[in-house]
Structure formats: structure tokens, C-alpha cells
Amino acid sequence: MQMISKLLQQAFGQNNELKTYATAGNPSGDDMLDGEDLKIVSKMLRHAIENGVADSDGASLIKIGEYKGHSVFEHKAVDQIQISINDDGQAYVKLIVRKKDPGMGLAAFAGGRKDEGESDEVAAEREGSEEAKSKKGKLIAKYKIDRHPVAGDVRVKNGNDRAEGVELGDITAISTAAIIIVEENVHDGIQAGDDAAGAGWVLLSTITNANLFSIKDHAEMLVQATELAGVDNQLPESFYTSLLERKDDIARASPELQGSAKLLVTGYLSAELGMRQEP
């Protein structure tokens, strides 16, 4: 009888236990949501965004519902994608190496959570300066990729790093907007900081593997950004192939990728990240 009751609870979503996993590189003490719970909460976030529930100018944290007795919040984040195009047409993208999980030791764009009251553009500029400060060049164009859920970055808040109104055990689901800046001849001189273990300008034609990125979203956003900038033909075919084959969630990346943070060589991300160095 007890076994039947447990099965019924699971079938009707009345079992409040969440499936999670811990990440050693995450200093906040939070656990990452996993399994079917991750899929359901990610769907909740997509539904909230699509139906305008999550829309609020300048807000960084919005409650979007309840799940298994826990409050679920959308936590808004931004990325800054900078592309530099040479006079000869060769394109570079600015990347960082993540210092923390999820995706510690993997490549990413500069970015992070919005502060309350910030616009997406202001927040992206702040994050870009904090994690990968660089010179500015002549602006060619600026674009924005609308906010969307970040695969895998759904956390159960167990540590002290909680926004006001978020209680122990509450769930935060990250969504992100990307500001794309296309400039001329600026692939030089980057200072890494904050959550970045290193940073560099990387020639697009050397990015051979989509699994080098901490999350699939960043690899997908690179495709979108290069299409908008008109340089998507410079990404190797192997990048597109690996993007089609990779899983959504690479928070627990393979050991060889997790151990790849040898950082920079002559101002560019090292070949140990799977990117050939610029001669």
C-alpha cells in the first residue's frame, strides 16, 4: 500500500524531493537541478517568457510560479558578444575561460546576472568590462539576441548567495539576453577579471569544436552573432557538426575539457582549449 501511494505521488507530482547534483567548483553552495525536474522548470521558464509573465523593465529577479512546494524565479542575465573584423575580413571573437562551475575551465562569453534596474545593454557593458576589459574600436553594428532560457543553469538555492526574497530551497532559472558588438580592428589587449580565469581574442576559423563552450547556448549564440555580422562562413564545418551532436547540458563536462584552463598564449586562448594559436 505504501509503495502504491509513493507511485501515485510521483505520478501526480506530489513528491517534493528534487533531483539535484552538486558542483565542486561552485562556491555559492547551490545544487544544480537535474533530470525531469530540470526539464519541467526549464519549460516553465520558456512558457513565462513566451507569454510575457517574465517581462518587467529593469527587473533582475521575477517569480514565475511554484514547483513541488518551492518558489521558482527567473533570474535575468546578459552576455556581451564582441566581434572584431580585420581590414582583410578575418573575424575574431572575444572569449573568456570560466573560473567557476557550471562549465569551469571551458570557453564562454563575458556575462552575468543583471543588477536591479539595469537595462540589458548597460548590464552587458558592465559584465564585459569586469570579465574581459578591452579597447574599443570603430563600431560597425550592434545587435541584440532576445532573452531565452539557459540550458542546465537551474539552481536550488542552498547557500548564502541568494537575492532578496529567495529562500533556502527555492529554484532560480537563468535566462539571458546577448548584446552583440561588431567593431573594426580591436583584437588586442584584454584584461581578465571577476569570474574569468582568462580572456582572449580568438580567430573564428580556429574554433573547431562547439563542446569547448560551457553551455550549448553560447555555441548557438556564436552562430547567431556571426550570421548577423556576416562572418558565419568563417566558422569551420567541424564546429557546426559538433554543435548538432552535443547535448544541451554540459555543466558536468568531460575531464579533458574541465582540465583545459591553461589560459592564454601570446594573447590568444591556448591550443589546449582546442583552438589553434594565431601564428
The predicted model gives 19-43 an average pLDDT of: 75
Query: At residue 266, does pLDDT exceed 60?
Result: no
Most confident of 90-94, 250-254, 270-274: 90-94
- In this predicted structure, what is the pLDDT of residue 235? 94
**Structural domain spans, the chain:** 2-273
Q: What percent of the chain has pLDDT over 70?
A: 72
pLDDT tens readout for residues 66-120:
999 899 998 888 899 999 999 999 999 988 887 776 677 788 888 888 888 888 8
Cβ neighbours for 175, distance < 8 A, ≥ 6 positions apart: 45, 49, 54, 74, 75, 76, 77, 147, 148, 149, 150
The pLDDT of residue 143 is: 94
Q: Angle at which helices 216-229 and 237-245 pack, to 10 degrees?
A: 140
Beta bridge partner(s), residue 66: 71
Q: Please report the beta strands in 110-186, taking only residues with DSSP state E, as ranges in sequence order.
A: 110-113, 132-134, 138-156, 171-184
Biggest distance spanned by C-alpha atoms of the chain: 74
User: Between residues 186 and 256, which one has the greater pLDDT?
Assistant: 186
Please report the pLDDT score of residue 215 as a whole number. 77
pTM: 0.74
Tell me the pLDDT band of 152, cut-offs 50, 70 and 90.
low
pLDDT for 169 beyond 80: yes
Per CATH, which fold does 2-273 belong to? Nucleoside Triphosphate Pyrophosphohydrolase (3.90.79)
Confidence of residue 179 (pLDDT cuts 50, 70, 90): very high
Lowest-confidence segment of 13-27, 50-64, 79-93, 164-178 by average pLDDT: 13-27
pLDDT top residue among 201 and 105: 201
Who has greater pLDDT, 146 or 268? Answer: 146
